Amino acid sequence: MRPAPPKVTTLSKWFDAADKIFFQKYPDRFSHIRKPHSDECQGEFWSLGDHDRKRRRIILWRVPPDNAFYDATGVRMHTFPLTPARVLAALRSAAAKTQTA
């Protein structure tokens, strides 16, 4: 059974503000890796399979204005769940494909 989506709380609003402050402080950066807060992206992490919860990370991506996904009226940041084991497996798979090609 999939977990329910996280509720918007004061804490999640604080983290959203902290993310915005990060990108305001570093305007030349378009991505940031951080630990997830409470149950952020819980469903997405669940879909990645069995993994160590302590190693979960979130990639924040600020959409550049010249990107096709840029929305001037809506969300300008996207979150992507990440576990180091999944990244390592993907890199190994890609390396194996290039060696056999």
Q: Would you put residue 38 in left (φ > 0), alpha (ψ -120 to 50) or beta?
A: left
User: Mind listing the pLDDT tens digit for each residue in 43-54?
Assistant: 888 787 777 878
Which burial class, exposed, middle or buried, applies to 58 when counting CB atoms under 10 A from its CB (0-12, 13-18, 19+)? Answer: buried
pLDDT over threshold 70, residue 22 = yes
For range 68-73, the mean pLDDT? 82
Q: What are the residue boundaries of the structural domains of the chain, listed by start?
A: 10-100
Per-residue pLDDT, 25: 92
